[in-house]
Amino acid sequence: MKPRDWLLATGTLVFGYLVGQYVQSHFPSSLSPSTDTKTIQPKLTRKGVIRLIKVNGGSKGLDLSAYDLSGENLRNLDLSGAIFSTYQFENKIYRSADLASVNFTDSNLSRANLAATNLQNAGFWQANLYEASLQGVQAQNASFSQTDMRRATLFAARLEGASFWHTQLAGANLYAARIANAHITEIDIKDGLLQEDEQAYNKHFHQWYVHKLPNKYRVRNLQQRHQQAEEIYMNLKNAYISHGRYREASHAYLKERRMRRATYVLWRAKRYHGEVIARNPGFLRWRWLWFYPKYMWLWFFDWLTDLGSGYGERPLRTVWLALFVIFTFPWLYWLSGQIAFADNSPLQWIDYLIYSLGAFTTMDFARFVTTGWIAETIASLEALLGISILALLMFALGNRISRS
């Protein structure tokens, strides 16, 4: 073969190799088998699970992520620490068990890894899911009634149609969970959400199910924890309202507003509300002069609204506020010494109280006269407070009546 032919053949091979590499890198599906087909998982029965627990020497660390357990009855089994889902961070590959319609009644699943599993129509009646990971699960129409889910993570879980009746959720992470259409009744979150306790939330990121996350996610979530709590309470409120649970919705709304107020605190305001100014430091720099006074005023007004009426959800607070004003101002009138009877007869403390009640309701008693500007100023201030408090009371009562 002539040298020219050798060069031509070599050039053709090199060109073909380069074209092949380009096509494979840009159009891999055209040269390799499809990876979209779902891997067939071997079926595992209750007896098989019990056998694997015995072989493993217990349920802790037992990897069941490769099995199909759908429809099985796993009632009253100790599966604490079992692994139903694995995630390869390097290859970004999830492997999770199919747990659709599985009966986990009375089972111990504390600290179990159920992340990204299929839990549709599964039953967890009185199960123990303490510190379990249910991140990203498909749990539509599942039952979590009377389940211990304290400190469990339900981040980004799909819970449409799921039932939470007398479920313990104190310290649970419900951020980004889809609970708008869930059936939530008498859940126990009296100790607050995970995001409300900075120390507990920081500890949460060192737990076994999130400790591999990069540190930047921990810092970002810690800085945004009040906003996350506000969103969770808003979702809870909507879920309650959709099922006519107005008393629970009222409490969730109250907590939602308090979480929003926490973002107005001076040392947090810039973190939560300073994005626009931070992105435009030039022509908006002057706004920093008004930024902190604005959020200080917003926090104070929000605090007063909570104190006076519980954001319109606690009319009894407004009643107590009115009584406080009515019983406090008589002492101010007595100290001023500028309230007297028209006939100059001596005044008793009950007379100052009657005058205070008249000033609060803007009623004028002819038998009382003021003898100086101090008493007149105090009476005007009480009248202004009275008008405001009575208007606030009407608003709070109307709000509660319209909901009930």
Instruction: Answer yes or no: is pLDDT of 54 > 50.
Output: yes
Domain end among 223, 247, 280: 223
* 160 in any annotated domain: yes
Contacts of 17 (CB under 8 A, 6+ apart): none
Question: What pLDDT is attached to residue 332?
Answer: 94
Q: Which of 93, 96, 103 is nearest to 82 (CA)?
A: 96
On whether both 216 and 338 belong to a single domain, the answer is no
Q: Average pLDDT, stretch 373-380?
A: 93
How far apart CA 253 and CA 129 sit, in angstroms, is: 27
Least confident of 214-228, 230-244, 294-308, 384-398: 214-228
Please state, for a pLDDT cut of 90, what percent of the chain lies above it.
40
Q: Is the dihedral angle over the CA atoms 244, 246, 251, 256 positive or is it negative?
A: positive
Q: Average pLDDT, stretch 206-234?
A: 81
Q: Where residue 395 sits, what CATH number does that domain have? A: 1.10.287.70
Instruction: Answer yes or no: is pLDDT of 28 > 60.
Output: no
Please state, for a pLDDT cut of 70, what percent of the chain lies above it.
83
* 41 in any annotated domain: no
Q: What is the DSSP string of 177-207?
A: -B-TTSEEES-B-TT--GGG-HHHHHHHTTS
On whether both 179 and 53 belong to a single domain, the answer is yes
On whether both 187 and 77 belong to a single domain, the answer is yes
Question: What pLDDT is attached to residue 382?
Answer: 94
pLDDT, greater one: 373 or 27 = 373
Question: What pLDDT is attached to residue 30?
Answer: 34
Q: How many domains does the chain have?
A: 2
Question: What pLDDT is attached to residue 360?
Answer: 94
Question: What pLDDT is attached to residue 285?
Answer: 60
Q: Average pLDDT, stretch 135-159?
A: 92
**Whole-prediction pTM:** 0.77
* 251 in any annotated domain: no
Question: What pLDDT is attached to residue 27?
Answer: 42
- The whole-chain average pLDDT of the chain stands at 83
Instruction: Answer yes or no: is pLDDT of 263 > 90.
Output: yes
On whether both 103 and 210 belong to a single domain, the answer is yes
On whether both 323 and 218 belong to a single domain, the answer is no
* 370 in any annotated domain: yes
On whether both 58 and 201 belong to a single domain, the answer is yes
pLDDT 10s digits, 69-126: 888 888 888 888 888 877 554 445 556 788 999 999 999 999 888 888 899 999 999 9
User: Contact, 69 vs 44, CB < 8 A?
Assistant: yes
User: Contact, 59 vs 84, CB < 8 A?
Assistant: no
* 115 in any annotated domain: yes
Q: Average pLDDT, stretch 223-252?
A: 91
Least confident of 14-28, 62-76, 224-238, 286-300: 14-28
The residue range of the domain holding 396 is: 315-403
How far apart CA 205 and CA 217 sit, in angstroms, is: 9
Least confident of 65-69, 133-137, 143-147, 245-249: 65-69
Question: What pLDDT is attached to residue 302?
Answer: 95
Question: What pLDDT is attached to residue 94?
Answer: 57
> What secondary structure letter does DSSP report for 143?
B
Domain end among 223, 247, 276: 223
What's the distance, CA 201 to chain centroid?
Answer: 12
* 128 in any annotated domain: yes
**pLDDT band for position 163 (cuts 50, 70, 90):** very high
3-state secondary structure 44-113: CCHHHHHHHHHHHCCCCCCECCCCECCCCECCCCECCCCECEEEECCCCEEEECECCCCECCCCECCCCE
pLDDT 10s digits, 270-323: 888 877 565 655 555 666 678 888 899 999 999 999 999 999 999 999 999 999
Question: What pLDDT is attached to residue 383?
Answer: 94
pLDDT, greater one: 229 or 10 = 229
Least confident of 32-36, 227-231, 382-386, 390-394: 32-36
On whether both 213 and 338 belong to a single domain, the answer is no
Q: Where residue 186 sits, what CATH number does that domain have? A: 2.160.20
* 140 in any annotated domain: yes
Question: What pLDDT is attached to residue 43?
Answer: 87
Question: Hey, what are 83's tokens?
Answer: 């692994």
* 210 in any annotated domain: yes
Question: What pLDDT is attached to residue 278?
Answer: 59
Q: Token pair 């088998």 is at which residue?
A: 33
On whether both 336 and 189 belong to a single domain, the answer is no
On whether both 199 and 334 belong to a single domain, the answer is no
Domain end among 206, 223, 240: 223
Q: Average pLDDT, stretch 342-346?
A: 83
**pLDDT band for position 158 (cuts 50, 70, 90):** very high
On whether both 336 and 192 belong to a single domain, the answer is no
Instruction: Answer yes or no: is pLDDT of 21 > 70.
Output: no
